[in-house]
Amino acid sequence: MRTALLQSSGRPGSVAANLRALDASAGRAAAAGAALLVAPEMFLTGYAIGDGVGRLAEPADGDAADAVAETAARHGLAVAYGYPERADDGTVFNSVQLVSADGVRLANYRKTHLFGPFERDHFTPGDRPVVQAELDGLRVGLMICYDVEFPETVRAHALAGTDLLLVPTAQMHPFQFVAESLVPVRAFENQMYIAYVNRVGQEGGFEFVGLSALAAPDGVARARAGRAEELLLGDVDPVLLAASREGNPYLADRRPGLYGSLA
């Protein structure tokens, strides 16, 4: 499955502009044969927008979600995108939603591990560590940025059968080693593909480092962006995935009885 990674910070504070950017990128991705487009964490609104988080937050089935569904259906590819989600009780979550190529909402995930005072001041952590959907014969999992830095979360996905883990992110300087080193290792030790899709450039007090990647189960980044805006393309190959899992049977060789509560 050809997968497009949109490395961009869009226009912070303007949902309309970011929806237009997403639509344009979906058109380019579809023309290149992609079946899935993944945008970064908080793409629809911007990340460093202060109290704008609460002002711009929408329900998972709100107007922005409808607009993304129309984009997906118009271009005939699935779309995963980050946004601030307002629940029925007014609680705000840092979320990612996956929409199918025919515009159907497939899955919605709320970030479970909040990073730093900014996120803890503006969001409530989610409580479902594993959210998945079936897409083109693959089991696709969702998480956000800091979540992937916890080995327990990715292993939980591996045990639940995730083939491709989508990780919209807002990863910043000086933590670029996460994109460069940790993400490919996570893909290898859990025998899955990981699409790690970052913001880029200066935004508020943050410097986002780009370096988005599609990491394969052999620990190799099969596609890697630099530090500028980019639409990155890579292929998720079920044949390679099956062969890698056979040759690297970490999950089969586990001994949960030794690990106690960690298992």
The percent of residues above 70 in pLDDT, for the chain, comes to 100
Give pLDDT, residue 200. Answer: 97
C-beta separation of 192 from 164 below 8 A:
yes
**pLDDT (tens digit per residue) in 149-186:** 999 999 999 999 999 999 999 999 999 999 999 999 99
- Please determine, for residue 263, whether its predicted confidence score (pLDDT) is greater than 80: no
Mean pLDDT (whole number) for 77-97: 98
Band the pLDDT of 44: cuts 50, 70, 90: very high
The pLDDT tens digits of the residues spanning 121-130 come to 999 999 999 9
What number of other Cβ atoms are within 10 A of residue 25's Cβ? 24
Share of the chain above pLDDT 90, in %: 97
- Give the pairing of strands 131-135 and 221-224: unpaired
Confidence (pLDDT) at 139: 98
**Chain segment 58-70, per-residue pLDDT in tens:** 999 999 999 999 9
- 122 Cβ contact partners less than 8 Å away, ≥ 6 residues apart: 51, 53, 54, 84, 92
SS (H, E, C) 142-190: ECCHHHHHCHHHHHHHHHCCCCEEEEEECCECCCCHHHHHHHHHHHHHH
Q: What is the mean pLDDT of residues 201-214?
A: 95
- Average pLDDT score over residue span 189-203: 97
Q: How far is CA 192 from CA 123, 183, 187, 188, in A?
A: 29, 11, 5, 7
What is the rounded (10 degree) CA torsion for 91, 95, 153, 34?
170
**How many of the other CB atoms lie within 10 Å of CB of 237?**
15
For residue 244, the one-letter residue type is S
Per the CB < 8 A criterion, the answer to whether 145 and 111 are in contact is yes
Answer yes or no: 41 catalytic: yes
Catalytic site includes residue 85: no
Residue 100 one-letter amino acid: S
The whole-number pLDDT of residue 65 equals: 98
Give me the pLDDT at residue 262, please: 77
Burial, 218: exposed, middle or buried (Cβ in 10 Å; 0-12, 13-18, 19+)? middle
Average pLDDT, the chain: 97
> Given 58, 85, 119, 145, which residue is catalytic?
145
* Domains along the chain with CATH numbers: 2-262 (3.60.110.10)
Whether pLDDT at 209 is above 80: yes
| pTM recorded for the entire structure | 0.97
pLDDT of residue 260: 86
| Helices and strands (H and E) in the chain: how many | 9, 14
Return phi, psi of residue 239, to 5°: -70, -45
Query: Per the residue annotation, which of 58, 111, 119, 203 is the catalytic one?
Result: 111
pLDDT of residue 204: 87
Mean pLDDT across 241-253: 96
203 catalytic residue (yes or no): no
Q: Give residue-wise pLDDT tens across range 136-152.
A: 999 999 999 999 999 99
pLDDT > 80? residue 10: yes
Check pLDDT > 90 for residue 261. no
DSSP state of 35: S
Residues 34, 26: contact at Cβ < 8 Å?
Answer: no
- For residues 78 and 98, the answer to whether their CB atoms sit within 8 Å is yes
